[in-house]
Amino acid sequence: MAYINLCGKIENYIGEIPSLPVSVAKVMEICNSASARPSDLNRVISLDPVLTGRLLKLINSAYYGLGTHVTSLVKSITMLGINTVKNLALSSAILSTLPKNKRVHGLDMEGFWLHCLCVGVTSKFLAEKQGIDSRYLEEYFTAGLLHDIGKIPLNAVLSGDYLQVVTMAGGENMPLFEAENENFGINHSIAGKMIAGAWKLERPVTDVIAYHHEIGAYSGDNLQIICNVAIANYFALVYEVGFSGDIKHIKPEKNIWKAVGIKEDSFEVLKEKIYREIEKAKIFLRLS
Protein backbone atom coordinates (compact mmCIF):
# COMPACT_ATOMS: atom_id res chain seq x y z
CA MET A 1 0.00 0.00 0.00
CA ALA A 2 1.48 3.36 -1.05
CA TYR A 3 2.66 5.56 1.82
CA ILE A 4 0.61 8.60 0.72
CA ASN A 5 -2.53 6.51 0.28
CA LEU A 6 -2.06 4.86 3.68
CA CYS A 7 -1.48 8.21 5.40
CA GLY A 8 -4.68 9.49 3.81
CA LYS A 9 -6.65 6.52 5.14
CA ILE A 10 -5.19 6.98 8.60
CA GLU A 11 -6.06 10.68 8.52
CA ASN A 12 -9.62 9.79 7.53
CA TYR A 13 -9.86 7.30 10.40
CA ILE A 14 -8.52 9.85 12.89
CA GLY A 15 -10.99 12.39 11.53
CA GLU A 16 -13.84 10.01 12.35
CA ILE A 17 -12.72 9.52 15.97
CA PRO A 18 -14.99 11.59 18.22
CA SER A 19 -13.38 14.86 19.24
CA LEU A 20 -12.42 15.36 22.86
CA PRO A 21 -15.23 17.05 24.81
CA VAL A 22 -15.30 20.83 24.68
CA SER A 23 -14.99 20.85 28.47
CA VAL A 24 -11.65 18.99 28.28
CA ALA A 25 -10.31 21.44 25.69
CA LYS A 26 -11.35 24.29 27.99
CA VAL A 27 -9.67 22.57 30.97
CA MET A 28 -6.44 22.35 28.95
CA GLU A 29 -6.70 26.02 28.00
CA ILE A 30 -7.26 27.14 31.59
CA CYS A 31 -4.44 24.99 32.96
CA ASN A 32 -1.99 26.43 30.47
CA SER A 33 -2.63 29.90 31.85
CA ALA A 34 -0.19 31.17 34.48
CA SER A 35 -3.12 32.64 36.41
CA ALA A 36 -5.22 29.45 36.54
CA ARG A 37 -7.13 28.91 39.80
CA PRO A 38 -9.09 25.91 41.15
CA SER A 39 -12.29 27.98 40.97
CA ASP A 40 -11.74 28.51 37.22
CA LEU A 41 -11.50 24.76 36.66
CA ASN A 42 -14.47 24.11 38.92
CA ARG A 43 -16.70 26.37 36.81
CA VAL A 44 -15.81 24.49 33.60
CA ILE A 45 -15.78 20.91 34.92
CA SER A 46 -19.00 21.29 36.93
CA LEU A 47 -20.88 22.03 33.68
CA ASP A 48 -19.92 18.54 32.40
CA PRO A 49 -21.55 15.92 34.65
CA VAL A 50 -19.75 13.03 32.93
CA LEU A 51 -16.31 14.58 33.43
CA THR A 52 -17.24 15.55 37.00
CA GLY A 53 -18.26 11.97 37.74
CA ARG A 54 -15.05 10.54 36.27
CA LEU A 55 -12.83 12.89 38.24
CA LEU A 56 -14.62 12.28 41.54
CA LYS A 57 -14.45 8.53 40.91
CA LEU A 58 -10.71 8.78 40.32
CA ILE A 59 -10.05 11.05 43.25
CA ASN A 60 -11.90 8.72 45.62
CA SER A 61 -10.24 5.57 44.26
CA ALA A 62 -7.37 3.58 45.76
CA TYR A 63 -5.16 5.09 43.05
CA TYR A 64 -4.92 8.26 45.13
CA GLY A 65 -5.68 6.83 48.57
CA LEU A 66 -6.71 10.16 50.06
CA GLY A 67 -8.19 8.45 53.12
CA THR A 68 -11.39 10.48 53.06
CA HIS A 69 -14.35 10.58 50.70
CA VAL A 70 -14.30 13.81 48.70
CA THR A 71 -17.58 15.12 47.28
CA SER A 72 -16.56 18.70 46.54
CA LEU A 73 -15.07 19.22 43.09
CA VAL A 74 -13.25 22.42 44.03
CA LYS A 75 -11.77 20.70 47.11
CA SER A 76 -10.62 17.84 44.89
CA ILE A 77 -8.93 20.26 42.50
CA THR A 78 -7.25 22.06 45.39
CA MET A 79 -6.01 18.81 46.96
CA LEU A 80 -4.66 17.31 43.74
CA GLY A 81 -3.42 20.44 42.01
CA ILE A 82 -4.27 21.98 38.66
CA ASN A 83 -1.78 19.98 36.57
CA THR A 84 -2.93 16.68 38.02
CA VAL A 85 -6.58 17.46 37.30
CA LYS A 86 -5.67 18.54 33.78
CA ASN A 87 -3.98 15.23 33.01
CA LEU A 88 -6.69 13.18 34.70
CA ALA A 89 -9.31 14.94 32.59
CA LEU A 90 -7.31 14.33 29.41
CA SER A 91 -6.54 10.67 30.18
CA SER A 92 -10.11 9.80 31.12
CA ALA A 93 -11.53 11.57 28.05
CA ILE A 94 -9.18 9.75 25.67
CA LEU A 95 -9.81 6.36 27.25
CA SER A 96 -13.56 6.90 26.93
CA THR A 97 -13.16 7.79 23.25
CA LEU A 98 -10.93 4.94 22.02
CA PRO A 99 -11.67 1.18 22.02
CA LYS A 100 -10.56 -0.77 25.09
CA ASN A 101 -12.32 -4.06 25.65
CA LYS A 102 -12.63 -5.95 22.39
CA ARG A 103 -10.48 -7.60 19.77
CA VAL A 104 -10.09 -5.38 16.74
CA HIS A 105 -8.20 -7.21 14.01
CA GLY A 106 -4.56 -7.61 15.12
CA LEU A 107 -4.73 -6.31 18.68
CA ASP A 108 -6.60 -7.49 21.72
CA MET A 109 -7.58 -4.12 23.17
CA GLU A 110 -7.80 -5.31 26.76
CA GLY A 111 -4.19 -6.51 26.62
CA PHE A 112 -3.18 -3.38 24.71
CA TRP A 113 -4.58 -0.98 27.31
CA LEU A 114 -3.14 -3.02 30.19
CA HIS A 115 0.31 -2.65 28.59
CA CYS A 116 -0.24 1.08 28.19
CA LEU A 117 -1.48 1.40 31.76
CA CYS A 118 1.65 -0.40 33.00
CA VAL A 119 3.89 1.97 31.05
CA GLY A 120 2.05 4.98 32.45
CA VAL A 121 2.24 3.76 36.06
CA THR A 122 5.91 2.77 35.74
CA SER A 123 6.87 6.05 34.08
CA LYS A 124 5.20 8.01 36.88
CA PHE A 125 6.88 5.81 39.49
CA LEU A 126 10.31 6.39 37.92
CA ALA A 127 9.62 10.13 37.83
CA GLU A 128 8.84 10.07 41.54
CA LYS A 129 12.13 8.29 42.24
CA GLN A 130 13.95 10.94 40.21
CA GLY A 131 12.44 13.71 42.31
CA ILE A 132 10.38 15.22 39.49
CA ASP A 133 8.14 18.02 40.77
CA SER A 134 4.85 16.47 41.93
CA ARG A 135 2.94 18.95 39.75
CA TYR A 136 4.20 17.13 36.66
CA LEU A 137 3.95 13.47 37.72
CA GLU A 138 0.58 12.91 36.02
CA GLU A 139 2.10 14.15 32.76
CA TYR A 140 4.52 11.20 32.96
CA PHE A 141 1.56 8.90 33.54
CA THR A 142 -0.39 10.37 30.62
CA ALA A 143 2.59 10.16 28.27
CA GLY A 144 3.13 6.50 29.18
CA LEU A 145 -0.56 5.71 28.86
CA LEU A 146 -0.67 7.19 25.34
CA HIS A 147 2.77 6.20 24.02
CA ASP A 148 1.41 3.46 21.72
CA ILE A 149 -1.79 5.21 20.68
CA GLY A 150 -0.72 5.13 17.03
CA LYS A 151 -1.28 1.36 16.92
CA ILE A 152 -5.02 1.94 17.09
CA PRO A 153 -5.44 3.60 13.65
CA LEU A 154 -2.94 1.20 12.06
CA ASN A 155 -4.84 -1.73 13.51
CA ALA A 156 -8.19 -0.35 12.33
CA VAL A 157 -7.16 0.81 8.85
CA LEU A 158 -4.97 -2.16 7.89
CA SER A 159 -7.35 -4.82 9.20
CA GLY A 160 -5.98 -8.37 8.74
CA ASP A 161 -2.67 -7.06 7.38
CA TYR A 162 -1.81 -5.68 10.80
CA LEU A 163 -2.43 -9.06 12.44
CA GLN A 164 -0.02 -10.61 9.94
CA VAL A 165 2.66 -8.02 10.75
CA VAL A 166 2.21 -8.53 14.50
CA THR A 167 2.56 -12.28 13.93
CA MET A 168 5.58 -11.80 11.64
CA ALA A 169 7.33 -9.53 14.17
CA GLY A 170 6.88 -12.18 16.86
CA GLY A 171 8.00 -15.02 14.60
CA GLU A 172 11.10 -13.19 13.40
CA ASN A 173 11.85 -11.68 16.84
CA MET A 174 11.92 -8.12 15.55
CA PRO A 175 10.47 -4.93 17.08
CA LEU A 176 6.95 -4.25 15.87
CA PHE A 177 7.74 -0.68 14.78
CA GLU A 178 10.46 -2.04 12.47
CA ALA A 179 8.05 -4.61 11.03
CA GLU A 180 5.52 -1.82 10.48
CA ASN A 181 8.12 0.25 8.62
CA GLU A 182 9.19 -2.71 6.51
CA ASN A 183 5.66 -3.68 5.47
CA PHE A 184 3.76 -0.39 5.44
CA GLY A 185 6.37 2.36 5.20
CA ILE A 186 4.87 3.91 8.33
CA ASN A 187 4.94 2.98 12.01
CA HIS A 188 2.78 3.55 15.06
CA SER A 189 4.91 6.47 16.26
CA ILE A 190 4.12 8.38 13.07
CA ALA A 191 0.43 7.47 13.25
CA GLY A 192 0.40 8.43 16.95
CA LYS A 193 1.88 11.83 16.18
CA MET A 194 -0.98 12.35 13.73
CA ILE A 195 -3.52 11.68 16.50
CA ALA A 196 -1.62 13.97 18.89
CA GLY A 197 -1.77 16.72 16.29
CA ALA A 198 -5.48 16.25 15.70
CA TRP A 199 -6.18 16.44 19.43
CA LYS A 200 -3.63 19.20 20.06
CA LEU A 201 -1.91 17.23 22.81
CA GLU A 202 0.84 19.03 24.69
CA ARG A 203 4.41 18.86 23.40
CA PRO A 204 5.88 16.49 26.07
CA VAL A 205 3.19 13.87 25.42
CA THR A 206 3.42 14.33 21.64
CA ASP A 207 7.22 13.94 21.72
CA VAL A 208 6.96 10.73 23.75
CA ILE A 209 4.50 9.29 21.23
CA ALA A 210 6.73 10.26 18.31
CA TYR A 211 10.19 9.37 19.67
CA HIS A 212 9.97 6.64 22.33
CA HIS A 213 11.51 4.14 19.87
CA GLU A 214 13.99 6.56 18.31
CA ILE A 215 15.42 8.60 21.15
CA GLY A 216 18.72 9.12 19.30
CA ALA A 217 16.87 11.17 16.69
CA TYR A 218 15.38 13.52 19.28
CA SER A 219 16.84 16.99 19.90
CA GLY A 220 14.09 18.80 21.81
CA ASP A 221 13.49 19.75 25.44
CA ASN A 222 11.57 16.68 26.58
CA LEU A 223 14.31 14.05 26.62
CA GLN A 224 13.76 13.21 30.30
CA ILE A 225 10.14 12.15 29.92
CA ILE A 226 10.88 10.25 26.68
CA CYS A 227 13.64 8.27 28.43
CA ASN A 228 11.32 7.51 31.35
CA VAL A 229 8.65 6.13 29.05
CA ALA A 230 11.20 4.10 27.06
CA ILE A 231 12.44 2.43 30.25
CA ALA A 232 8.85 1.91 31.45
CA ASN A 233 7.96 0.34 28.11
CA TYR A 234 10.91 -2.03 28.45
CA PHE A 235 9.68 -3.02 31.93
CA ALA A 236 6.18 -3.80 30.60
CA LEU A 237 7.63 -5.94 27.80
CA VAL A 238 10.12 -7.85 29.97
CA TYR A 239 7.54 -8.64 32.64
CA GLU A 240 4.80 -9.26 30.05
CA VAL A 241 2.22 -6.94 31.56
CA GLY A 242 -0.50 -6.79 28.92
CA PHE A 243 0.34 -7.17 25.24
CA SER A 244 0.57 -4.40 22.64
CA GLY A 245 1.85 -6.48 19.72
CA ASP A 246 5.54 -6.47 20.66
CA ILE A 247 7.49 -9.54 21.73
CA LYS A 248 11.05 -8.37 21.01
CA HIS A 249 12.65 -6.66 24.00
CA ILE A 250 15.19 -4.08 22.88
CA LYS A 251 17.18 -3.07 25.91
CA PRO A 252 17.51 0.73 26.05
CA GLU A 253 21.01 2.09 25.62
CA LYS A 254 23.16 2.94 28.64
CA ASN A 255 22.67 6.69 28.28
CA ILE A 256 18.90 6.23 28.59
CA TRP A 257 19.23 4.23 31.82
CA LYS A 258 21.61 6.90 33.07
CA ALA A 259 19.18 9.69 32.22
CA VAL A 260 16.48 7.98 34.28
CA GLY A 261 18.91 7.13 37.08
CA ILE A 262 18.03 3.47 37.40
CA LYS A 263 19.81 0.19 36.78
CA GLU A 264 18.15 -2.70 34.98
CA ASP A 265 18.42 -5.05 37.97
CA SER A 266 16.53 -2.51 40.10
CA PHE A 267 13.28 -3.65 38.51
CA GLU A 268 13.37 -6.96 40.36
CA VAL A 269 13.15 -5.02 43.63
CA LEU A 270 10.61 -2.49 42.35
CA LYS A 271 8.25 -4.72 40.40
CA GLU A 272 5.96 -5.75 43.27
CA LYS A 273 5.31 -2.12 44.15
CA ILE A 274 4.69 -1.31 40.50
CA TYR A 275 2.27 -4.25 40.21
CA ARG A 276 0.30 -2.92 43.20
CA GLU A 277 0.10 0.52 41.61
CA ILE A 278 -1.11 -1.01 38.34
CA GLU A 279 -3.95 -2.74 40.19
CA LYS A 280 -4.99 0.59 41.70
CA ALA A 281 -4.69 2.38 38.37
CA LYS A 282 -7.05 -0.07 36.63
CA ILE A 283 -9.77 2.39 37.66
CA PHE A 284 -8.79 4.29 34.49
CA LEU A 285 -9.95 1.36 32.36
CA ARG A 286 -13.36 1.35 34.04
CA LEU A 287 -14.26 5.00 33.50
CA SER A 288 -16.56 4.58 30.52
Contact 89, 24 (CB under 8 A): yes
Q: CA triplet 160, 165, 171: central angle to 5 degrees? A: 125
With H, G, I as helix, E, B as strand and everything else as coil, classify residue 249.
coil
- C-beta of residue 121 within 8 angstroms of C-beta of residue 144: yes
10 Å CB burial of residue 163 (0-12, 13-18, 19+) is: middle
Counting residues of the chain whose pLDDT is more than 90, the rounded percentage is 53
Per-residue pLDDT of 66-112, as tens digits, reads 778 888 888 888 888 888 899 888 998 888 888 766 656 678 888 99
Residues 6+ apart with CB under 8 A from 88: 54, 55, 58, 80, 138
CB-based contacts of 179, cutoff 8 Å, min separation 6 = 165, 166, 168, 169, 172
DSSP assignment, residue 65? -
- Residue-wise pLDDT tens digits, 252-286: 999 999 999 988 888 888 899 999 999 999 998 88
pTM above 0.85, yes or no: yes
| CA 288 to centroid of chain Cα atoms | 17
The phi and psi torsions of 157 (rounded to 5 degrees) equal -75, -40
SS (H, E, C) 176-220: HHHHHHHHHCCCHHHHHHHHHHHHCCCHHHHHHHHHCCCHHHCCC
* Nearest CA among 147, 161, 139, 92 for reference residue 115: 147
Q: What structural domains does the chain harbor?
A: 3-17+101-286 (1.10.3210.10), 20-97 (no CATH)
